[in-house]
Each structure stands twice: as structure tokens, then as C-alpha cells.
A and B are shown apart, each in its own frame.
Chain A
Amino acid sequence: MDEITFLKRKATEIRMELLTMIYNARTGHTGGSLSNTDILTVLYYKIMNIDPSNPNWEDRDRYVQSKGHSVESLWAILADKGFFPKEELKTFSQFGSRLIGHPNNNVPGVEMNTGALGHGLPISVGMALAAKMDGKPYKVYTLMGDGEQAEGSVWEGAMAAAQYKLDNLIAIIDRNKLQITGSTEDVMALEPLPDKWRSFGWEVIEVDGNDVEQLVEVFSQTPRVEGKPTMIIANTVKGKGISFAENVGAWHHRVPSEEEYDLAIEELSKQMEVLV
């Protein structure tokens, strides 16, 4: 099996896993986790230099999930990578579980506690600056939501990343164009989003954020410009992979019924069958 097919199969497995987690827990952020699954799969299975047996290895690449609420895909991936036993996924959002509804650094593989939007980029700027100060080779990846772009602290971090020439910082926007109230452009218009980031001194590239092949290509070529932080605007589909959830705002944190769950798993299984 070629690498791209492997990654596509992996992303499909993760989608099944996260749906099962949300279905069992009766809570979760379904749409956003499905939209960011391909991005996380490419980062964790192809791009990032990490060691699940040594999660605090000094030179590891860092991942900060600024859009903390879409955590289900991250939990499924960390378990699959061996950061903690897969069995523990059954405790997601249950009483006393460490697998809560946002990244939690009591869990191996999670760098920082996130969930309050607009925090991940400033944190990542600090991590990337530390690498520069120490001459370390690691890169810092941070995933933001598109609705999150309305937070002022995002732009404080954006300025600092350019000021300190942090080309070891790669930010990604999961641009699924929907937030809980509706279209991002109706709630608080973001466009022209690439121009905004360019004007803040970032190297900006747009990509189909659900296309594994494109993601591999783009992530493999960072930094794109020496001395500039990279912004990857990943155009995604909220609810990706499950036809009746795709681009439907209500699936932001809707939990599937039994019938919907069965349909979704069936659909994902069919996608898996052709990936050989």
C-alpha cells in the first residue's frame, strides 16, 4: 500500500473512532473533529517528529490545538499512536476521565491545556522562540479554527511571530466556514483572510484541508520562506466524510442518533473498502 493510501485509510479509521466516542459519550464536537481529521492524520503519521514512548523528548515537534473543542480526533490519534491505551477512549467525557472535552496535558502527548480560543498562537510563538534561542531543530504546529480568528489575541500572536522571524512556526486554520451560529462571513466576516495574514508578515498558502496528498506536499515544504512564519489556510468541510453532516452547521456539536451512527459507520466503511 502506498503512503497516501495508508494515510487516507488512517483518517477514515480515526473518523470511525471519533464518531464512536461521541456516540457513546453522548457529547462532543462532531463537525469540527471531522473537518480537522485529515490535517491531524498527516501531521501525526507523516510530518511531525515525535516519539510516543518519550512524549517529553526535548527536540520533539510541538502540536498545540488552539481550537481545543475539536478534541475527539486528537484523542483517537494519540491513542492509536500509543501515547495511552486505546481502551481509555471509552472513558471520553465520563466522570473523572482525563480524556475531557478539550486537550489536557495530564495526558501524554498533549503539550498545553487549551479550550479558551485565541490562546494557542501566543503559546506556540513562545515555544518557537524558545527553539530559536536554544538553536533547537523542532517545529511548532498550531491548529486554529476559523471562527477563532475573531479573537484579538490571535493577531497579537501573529505580530510577534513575524517580529521574531519564527519560520519554525506553522499555523493552520481549519477553514470550514461555519461556526456555531452560522457562516463565518455572516457572524464576523474574515475575508480576505489570506491577505490579512500576508499583511501581518506571514507566508500564506491555501490548501484543500481534506486532501491528504496536498497536505503532505504543503507540510513537507515548510518553512516556505526563511525568516517568515507559515500560515496554511486549510479549506475544509465541516462534518467531512459523513454525507448528511457535511456543511451542516447543526453538526457543530450534534451527537448522532443510533440510526445516524449506523449510517455514518456504513458510509465510512464503504470509503475504506476502496482504499487499497
Chain B
Amino acid sequence: MKNIALKPTKGNKIANRQVISETLLDLGRKNRDLLVLTSDSRGSASMVNFGEELPEQIVEVGIAEQNIVGMASGLAHSGKKPFVASPACFLSMRSIEQIKVDVAYSKTNVKLIGISGGVSYGALGMSHHSVQDLAVTRAIPGLDVMMPADRHEAKKMIEALVDYNRPVYVRIGRNPVEDSYLSDNYEFKIGKAVTMNEGNDITIIAAGETVRVALDTADALLAEGISCRVINMHTIKPLDENAIINAAKETGRIITIEEHSVYGGLGSAVSETISQNYPVPIKILGIPDEPAITGNSKEVFNHYGLSVNNVSNIVRQMIGK
């Protein structure tokens, strides 16, 4: 895993939401307190099978995001383990006050799964994009924030969250994402970043869908003799500050890539850490402060330079090659 020569082959067809649903179904069979709540979103959350096999453990709330979070907090308060699966754009915005007060402030064990996050709903426009969710959720005390890089990490993350007695917001995309891990045979620890590739010239820090972009960039630049460290920051909060500070000390330059506004997300979190601990040059790549252009995820990523070509160019510029 710490060697991109072992990188997984491309062509994965299984979306993270599918894996999360299967993992929850597996865990739900053994734990009757595990519940899934949907806001007319069981199809888009891939929860149809879960609902058919465990009808007593799925709670349909209708298109009512404030209510889904409020109800989840009440269920959690009375001993249930609710996983709310609702589109990230609505869950992280319409119900943000319920997340702040009923979940984080009241300390209820609610897991919020923001599905179809980032620019997954590319052609549907800004109403359906969620590129502010990391900024908003990570500013709320008591709420952890996570993004799995691929299907293997999605599975590990959900397994870890079932017995993790804290409120968490997890953002996933809609479409299958290329694997970053070879398998799920590795140790996943909440709050512990994963160095996916060792390197000395520069560090690329990514999360979610952009991890594979970072790995492919490192792979492409290896041929030019440029050695890129790649860090998968699957937990945005609590942030693994040591991994960031060590990267700053050891590689001297950092690039962050995220499917999120350049304001307030992964790049901001990394900048906050290095500027106060070990300042080094940093470049934040993400969605600029504008309604994102419409198109499929790949087109939008390419347009904003969240691509191997553009990241490679920036690496070359930053190290002067």
C-alpha cells in the first residue's frame, strides 16, 4: 500500500453507497438497534435491499431533512444507532441547525451519511452540489467529519463507526470511484491519516474521490524522477496534524486536492495546521468560489484542474522543474 507500484487496477463498478448499504445490512442483521433513516432517498442511497430484508430497521421520513435529523437524535437518545442516509447537499444545509443542536450539542450518537456529495449531481446545478459541507460541519464542535477514498475504505469506515459513540458526518459520492486500496485488508483508524505513497519532494494531501487523482499524479511523476508523498486524509476532523506537520518538515511543499470549495475544507484545515506549526508553501486545489460548472464529475474535475495533468504541472512549478 505504501508503494504505488502495487496500485489497484482501474475499472471498479461498485459505488461507495452500495458498499455502505451492504455493510450496514450485514451489521444490522446482528444488531437490531442499528437503524437506517431515509428522506425518500432509499433508492439513491442504495438502501432498497436493506429495507426489504430489515423492514423494522429502516425509517422513512419523507422529504423532510430537518425532521430526519431531529428524529435520528431522539432515536439515538433512546438507545438506537441511527444512520441517516440523505443527499449531502440537503443534509448538510437544510438540517444544519439540527446537526449543530440536536446531534452535536446534545451529544447524540447519530451518523450522518451525506450521499451524492460534492459535484456528484454535476448537471443538476448548485442546488444539488455540496461543496460547502466540509466547511460547515467541521466548524461544529463535537462533530467528526470523514470521507472514504474508495469502496474498501467505505466498508472499513462504516464498520468502525458502528461502535464509535460520537456524532459523525460522512460524505460520499454517487458514482463508483476508482480503488485506491488493493483490498480492505488493512488497519483503518479514525483520525489517523494514511500515507498511501512515500515521497520526499512534495506531499499531496487528498480525501475521498481525489485520493486516486493524487496517486495517479505521483505515479506519473515518478517517471520524471519526482517523488510525491500521498496522504489520504479520510478523517477531516479530528485532523491528523502530526501527519501534516511531518509532511511539511520532510517534503517542504504541500498540495491539497478536494471536491469542495477552496474555502473551509481540506485545504483550509491543512493550511491552518502548517501556518501555525511549520509554515511551508501550499497550493489548495478545489472548486473556486462560484456556482460550479455543470457536467459529469470527471468533466467538472478536469475543468477545475483536479486532474493528473494539472496537479502534475503544479508539482513541477512548486519544485522548480
Q: Mark B98-137, 1 if CB is under 8 A from A, else 0.
A: 1001100111100000000000000000000000000000
Select A122's contact among B74, B105, B107, beta carbons within 8 Å: B74
Q: Which residues 24-61 in A have Cβ within 8 Å of B in the complex?
A: 58
Whether a CB of chain A sits under 8 angstroms from the CB of B70 is yes
Query: Is B70 a contact of A58 with CB atoms below 8 Å?
Result: no
Contacts of A134 in B (CB 8 A): 78-79
| Residue in B70, B105, B108 whose Cβ sees the most chain A Cβ within 10 Å | B70
Q: Mark A108-145, 1 if CB is under 8 A from B, else 0.
A: 00011111101101111111111101100000000000
Select B72's contact among A112, A124, A126, A153, beta carbons within 8 Å: A126
Whether a CB of chain B sits under 8 angstroms from the CB of A159 is yes
Q: A119-B98, A131-B78, A160-B64 are in contact. Are A125 and B70 (CB under 8 A)?
A: yes
A160 to B69, CA, bound (A): 13
Interface of B is mostly: helix
Chain A residue at smallest Cβ distance from B82: A126
Whether a CB of chain A sits under 8 angstroms from the CB of B16 is no
Contacts of A118 in B (CB 8 A): 66
Query: Is B74 a contact of A124 with CB atoms below 8 Å?
Result: yes
Whether a CB of chain A sits under 8 angstroms from the CB of B53 is no
Q: Which residues 144-163 in A have Cβ within 8 Å of B in the complex?
A: 152-153, 156-157, 159-160, 163
Contacts of A214 in B (CB 8 A): none
Of B55-63, B168-176, B257-265, the segment with at least 4 beta carbons within 8 Å of chain A is B55-63
Whether a CB of chain A sits under 8 angstroms from the CB of B80 is yes
Chain A residue at smallest Cβ distance from B69: A122
Chain A residue at smallest Cβ distance from B65: A156
Whether a CB of chain A sits under 8 angstroms from the CB of B220 is no
Chain A residue at smallest Cβ distance from B61: A160
Nearest-Cβ distance from residue B60 to partner chain A, whole angstroms = 8
Select A129's contact among B62, B66, B75, B102, beta carbons within 8 Å: B75
Select B106's contact among A112, A131, A133, A159, beta carbons within 8 Å: A112
Nearest-Cβ distance from residue B97 to partner chain A, whole angstroms = 6
Whether a CB of chain A sits under 8 angstroms from the CB of B71 is yes
Query: Is A125 a contact of B101 with CB atoms below 8 Å?
Result: no
Contacts of B75 in A (CB 8 A): 126-127, 129-130
A77 to B265, CA, bound (A): 45
Nearest-Cβ distance from residue A117 to partner chain B, whole angstroms = 10
Query: Is B70 a contact of A130 with CB atoms below 8 Å?
Result: no
Query: Is A122 a contact of B77 with CB atoms below 8 Å?
Result: no
A127 to B80, CA, bound (A): 9
Contacts of B71 in A (CB 8 A): 122-123, 125-126, 129, 157, 160
Using a Cβ cutoff of 8 Å, how many contacts connect chains A and B? Answer: 98
Q: Which residues 59-74 in A have Cβ within 8 Å of B in the complex?
A: 62
A152 to B64, CA, bound (A): 10
A129 to B77, CA, bound (A): 11
A121 to B98, CA, bound (A): 12
Chain A residue at smallest Cβ distance from B37: A126
Select A58's contact among B73, B79, B105, beta carbons within 8 Å: B79
Contacts of B183 in A (CB 8 A): none
Select B66's contact among A122, A124, A128, beta carbons within 8 Å: A122
What is the number of residues of chain A that contact chain B, defined by CB distance less than 8 Å?
31
Query: Is A159 a contact of B64 with CB atoms below 8 Å?
Result: yes
Whether a CB of chain B sits under 8 angstroms from the CB of A199 is no
Query: Is A153 a contact of B70 with CB atoms below 8 Å?
Result: yes
Q: A122-B70, A153-B66, A156-B64 are in contact. Are A115 and B101 (CB under 8 A)?
A: yes
Whether a CB of chain B sits under 8 angstroms from the CB of A220 is no
Query: Is A123 a contact of B79 with CB atoms below 8 Å?
Result: no
Contacts of B97 in A (CB 8 A): 116, 119
Query: Is B73 a contact of A123 with CB atoms below 8 Å?
Result: yes
Whether a CB of chain A sits under 8 angstroms from the CB of B313 is no
Query: Is A113 a contact of B59 with CB atoms below 8 Å?
Result: no
Select A130's contact among B79, B98, B102, B106, beta carbons within 8 Å: B79
A116 to B66, CA, bound (A): 12
Chain B residue at smallest Cβ distance from A114: B101
Chain B residue at smallest Cβ distance from A115: B101
Contacts of B74 in A (CB 8 A): 112, 122-130
Whether a CB of chain A sits under 8 angstroms from the CB of B67 is yes
Query: Is A133 a contact of B80 with CB atoms below 8 Å?
Result: yes
Query: Is B59 a contact of A129 with CB atoms below 8 Å?
Result: yes
Select B67's contact among A113, A128, A133, A157, beta carbons within 8 Å: A157
Whether a CB of chain B sits under 8 angstroms from the CB of A105 is yes
Nearest-Cβ distance from residue B70 to partner chain A, whole angstroms = 3
Chain A residue at smallest Cβ distance from B63: A156
Query: Is A119 a contact of B62 with CB atoms below 8 Å?
Result: no
Chain A residue at smallest Cβ distance from B35: A133
Select B73's contact among A116, A126, A153, beta carbons within 8 Å: A126
Query: Is B67 a contact of A153 with CB atoms below 8 Å?
Result: yes
Query: Is A126 a contact of B70 with CB atoms below 8 Å?
Result: yes
Q: Given known contacts A126-B70, A156-B67, what 9 new A-B pairs fall within 8 Å (CB)? A: A105-B106, A112-B106, A119-B98, A122-B102, A127-B74, A129-B71, A134-B78, A153-B67, A157-B71
By Cβ-Cβ distance, the 9 closest A-B pairs, closest first, are A126-B74, A122-B70, A130-B78, A156-B67, A126-B71, A156-B64, A153-B66, A127-B74, A126-B75
A-B CB contact pairs (8 Å), 22 listed: A58-B79, A112-B77, A113-B102, A118-B66, A119-B98, A119-B101, A121-B70, A122-B73, A123-B74, A125-B67, A129-B59, A129-B71, A130-B74, A130-B77, A133-B56, A134-B78, A156-B62, A156-B66, A156-B67, A157-B71, A159-B67, A163-B62
